[in-house]
Structure 1
Amino acid sequence: MTLSVQSPVAGTVAAMADVPDPVFAQAMVGPGIAVQPAGGRADAVAPIDGTVVTLHPHAFVVAGEDGRAVLVHLGIDTVKQKGTGFTLHVVQGESVRAGQPVVGWDPDAVREAGYSPIVPVVALDARQEVLAPAEPGTAVAAGEELFTWQD
């Protein structure tokens, strides 16, 4: 079964290897693709239909009914912002639809705080070969397909 994973933010597709954090760049948490977000305040949206199983101001995980889960991490080292500049639109355990706003944030404010606003989107517990990601350099809108996940 193929799962369409949507981009949580608008921006430009980037290779995971280009994420300035070895945990993501070396796919230690799982394979995926990243998005260099467009500037300005925006909502990060759910990448798939499912349940919000993990929720922090800077990161969230949505798990689908089939058990596949996607991690969205808003920026690198943004946990150090302790939630400043992030607005939660859902609660942990809530069911969401792909494209539904989950967290409001401002990539420009993240950059001004000294962090990278790049957004890794990770297929948890997946193998790289089951993913078909968008081409790096491609412009993507929030809610537009970022990669497919074949299971």
Structure 2
Amino acid sequence: MTLEVAAPLAGRVLALDDVPDPVFAGRFVGPGLAVDPDRAEGADVTAVAPVSGTVAKAHPHAFIVTTESGPAVLVHLGLDTVGLAGKGFDVHVREGDAVAAGDPVVTWNPAGIEEGGLSPVVPVIVLEGDEESLGLTSPGTHLAAGDVLLTCR
């Protein structure tokens, strides 16, 4: 069975090697890709669930959705954003909530994050995943929210 992991927001695909954070680039959390989010006119953006499942963690800056038949997927909204202590993030779910792929999870402002001196890049990580089992979208590809970002076999 193949699990499709959707882009949680619109933007340009980045390889983890190009994420300016050694934890994600070094795959210490797991394999995956990242999305450099669109920042048109500084508008708020709502990150959506990349897979259907249960919200295992719901922090303002990051969330994890555990799938019924496969791995958990981490979405980290920007780099070093934990230090914002939730400022600028509006969380729409709670831990334990069931979500369908595409359901709204967190609204935030990538342009505002960048203006504050932080990177708005969004790593999407398959926790406890095996990089060889992933089918990755080519870096540089522009995706809409909900488009397939990667597959996991």
The alignment's TM-score, normalised by the length of structure 1, stands at 0.98
Q: Distance in 2 between matches of 1:19 and 1:82?
A: 22
* Deviates further, 117-126 or 62-71: 62-71
| Aligned residue in 2 for 1:33 | 33
List runs of 5+ in structure 2 lacking aligned partners: none
Q: Percent identity?
A: 54
What RMSD in Å do the two structures reach over aligned CA positions? 0.6
The alignment's TM-score, normalised by the length of structure 2, stands at 0.96
Classify the secondary structure of the residue corresponding to 2:125: strand
1:22 aligns with 2:22: yes
Select which of 110, 113, 129 maps to 1:126: 129
* CA offsets 1:27-81 (integer angstroms, 9 cap, x no match): 0000000000001211000000000001100000000112410000000000011
Aligned length: 150
| Aligned residue in 1 for 2:79 | 76
| Aligned residue in 1 for 2:91 | 88
Classify the secondary structure of the residue corresponding to 1:51: strand
Are the counterparts in 1 of residues 55 and 65 from structure 2 also a CA contact under 8 Å? yes
Give structure 1 regions of 4+ aligned residues with deviation exceeding 6 angstroms: none
Matches within 5 A, 1:1-151: 1-39=1-39, 40-150=43-153
Q: Distance in 2 between matches of 1:105 and 1:141?
A: 17
Are the counterparts in 1 of residues 74 and 126 from structure 2 also a CA contact under 8 Å? yes
